[in-house]
Chain A
Amino acid sequence: NAGVTQTPKFQVLKTGQSMTLQCAQDMNHNSMYWYRQDPGMGLRLIYYSASEGTTDKGEVPNGYNVSRLNKREFSLRLESAAPSQTSVYFCASSFLLSNEQFFGPGTRLTVL
């Protein structure tokens, strides 16, 4: 089992460009999450999907959109990237919302 996979691992964008971060899990989990991690800030929840077909905003949703494509896949889209979105992005999944979460390896995004 691969667990949680994320693509790409690294990305450099120019201000105003768009991109989609992909996440997939093979553990048959119901819930999936997108976090960003900035130095000294811990992890902040961007969006989450409690179950297939539902998505909800987290703590810092502005500038992002998500799609729960199916039970396995949860993508994060930046429509018009800004330097403030430079961060490391982590996808995670869990069987239910309160359960332990399994994290992907992260995507390091730089917006110039």
Chain B
Amino acid sequence: SQQGEEDPQALSIQEGENATMNCSYKTSINNLQWYRQNSGRGLVHLILIRSNEREKHSGRLRVTLDTSKKSSSLLITASRAADTASYFCATSYGKLTFGQGTILTVHP
């Protein structure tokens, strides 16, 4: 399976701190995507990084991809209480395969 596996499963931080979530996968990919899900809602796409890219930024988000280690990380800088959500990585080789997610709690 090429399913992404996130680490940690849960992360609790204070507002203003940085949050780092990791994703590992098993097989070749075309791209890797990160999604966010607020409680009870559908997923929202955050960022896509292609297999030939190593780093990508979007606002307070920074994503890295290391295809030799089959891993990716999502960094959220200067976190806010509103960042509290579940974050999923999804690997693409055709259709997407989602990991089980990291639950991020940001305390005010």
B95 touches A42 (CB 8 A): no
Q: Does B22 reach chain A (CB closer than 8 Å)?
A: no
Least Cβ distance of B21 to chain A in Å?
14
How far is B33's CA from A97's CA once the two chains are assembled, in angstroms? 13
Task: List the 3 shortest-distance A-B pairs measured between CB atoms, nearest first.
Answer: A103-B42, A42-B100, A100-B45
* B94 touches which of A42, A43, A97 (Cβ 8 Å): A97
Q: Does A98 reach chain B (CB closer than 8 Å)?
A: yes
Which of chain A's residues has its CB closest to B98's CB?
A43
Which of chain A's residues has its CB closest to B5's CB?
A42
- Which of B7-38 touch A at CB < 8 Å? 30-31, 33, 35
* A100 touches which of B30, B48, B100 (Cβ 8 Å): B48
Number of interface residues of A (CB under 8 A): 24
How far is B44's CA from A40's CA once the two chains are assembled, in angstroms? 19
Number of interface residues of B (CB under 8 A): 22
Which of chain A's residues has its CB closest to B4's CB?
A42
How far is B90's CA from A97's CA once the two chains are assembled, in angstroms? 13
Q: Does A90 reach chain B (CB closer than 8 Å)?
A: yes
Q: Does B64 reach chain A (CB closer than 8 Å)?
A: no
- Which of B43-87 touch A at CB < 8 Å? 43-45, 48
Q: Does A65 reach chain B (CB closer than 8 Å)?
A: no
Find chain A residues with CB under 8 A from B101 CB.
Answer: 42
Q: Can you name 16 extra interface pairs (CB under 8 A) apart from A92-B43, A97-B94?
A: A35-B98, A41-B100, A42-B100, A58-B95, A92-B42, A97-B92, A98-B31, A98-B93, A101-B33, A101-B96, A102-B45, A104-B42, A105-B42, A106-B40, A106-B41, A106-B42
